[in-house]
């Protein structure tokens, strides 16, 4: 049995819902349906930033072998106005430390795209919001290219902004929304599982 570690924030953890309704558990159901020998592990912590994730990474990596590492972090850095360059450095540390401990690990990078209008509405951006968001988003493409990583470019595609698919805070998916999120992730993750299983 191989392990898929989902390392992220509230969107991985399944904020406001049960662990069974969160993406890792939903993907486990699909994995089981396909009869693939993989176990999903939910290492999401609500509110986590890339800096906080670095602090807890060693303990998480020591708890079990990691074959596939799904990295979903950065959106809380954006909310807190952390410079994209610092976020990039933190993500690099996470990627490289994981690779050092597990040289054959396959890393999947996940980006969360939020519309500028929503961020402005919640008062989470400053006067240079558009430029900041562009810099934030470009970090993921840059790292995906640098490390040759598969990238899920928009985790909340089809969910963000849809009232019936989100909790009242309008930032986190509800149970139905997470089903769509899981399908978005599956499109990238399934080919990886199929390839690694046959090799």
Closest CA to 170 of 116, 111, 113, 118: 118
pLDDT, mean of residues 101-130 = 76
Per the listing, tokens 């961020």 go with 119
Topology at the third CATH level for domain 2-198: Rossmann fold (3.40.50)
Instruction: Give residue limits of the domains in the chain.
Output: 2-198
In the prediction, which pLDDT does 133 show? Answer: 81
Tokens of 112: 């969360």
CA-CA distance, 32 to 149, in Å (whole number)?
25
Specify the DSSP class assigned to residue 49: -
pLDDT, mean of residues 138-165 = 95
pTM, two decimals, is 0.92
């Amino acid at each position: 049995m191989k392990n898929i570690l989902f390392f992220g924030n509230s969107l991985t953890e399944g904020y406001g819902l049960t662990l069974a309704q969160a993406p890792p558990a939903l993907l486990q159901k699909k994995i089981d349906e396909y009869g693939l020998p993989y176990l999903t592990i939910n290492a999401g912590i609500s509110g986590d930033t890339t800096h906080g994730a670095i602090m807890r990474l060693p303990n998480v990596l020591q708890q079990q072998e990691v074959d596939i590492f799904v990295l979903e972090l950065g959106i809380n850095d954006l909310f807190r106005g952390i410079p994209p360059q610092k976020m990039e450095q933190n993500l690099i540390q996470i990627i490289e430390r994981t690779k050092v401990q597990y040289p054959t690990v396959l890393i999947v990078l996940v980006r969360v795209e939020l519309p500028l209008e929503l961020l402005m509405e919640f008062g989470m951006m400053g006067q240079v919001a558009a430029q900041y968001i562009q810099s934030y988003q470009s970090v993921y493409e840059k790292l995906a290219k640098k490390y040759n990583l598969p990238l899920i470019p928009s985790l909340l595609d089809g969910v963000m902004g849809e009232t019936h698919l989100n909790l009242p805070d309008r930032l986190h998916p509800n149970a139905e929304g997470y089903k769509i999120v899981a399908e978005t992730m599956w499109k990238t993750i399934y080919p990886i599982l199929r390839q690694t299983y046959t090799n």
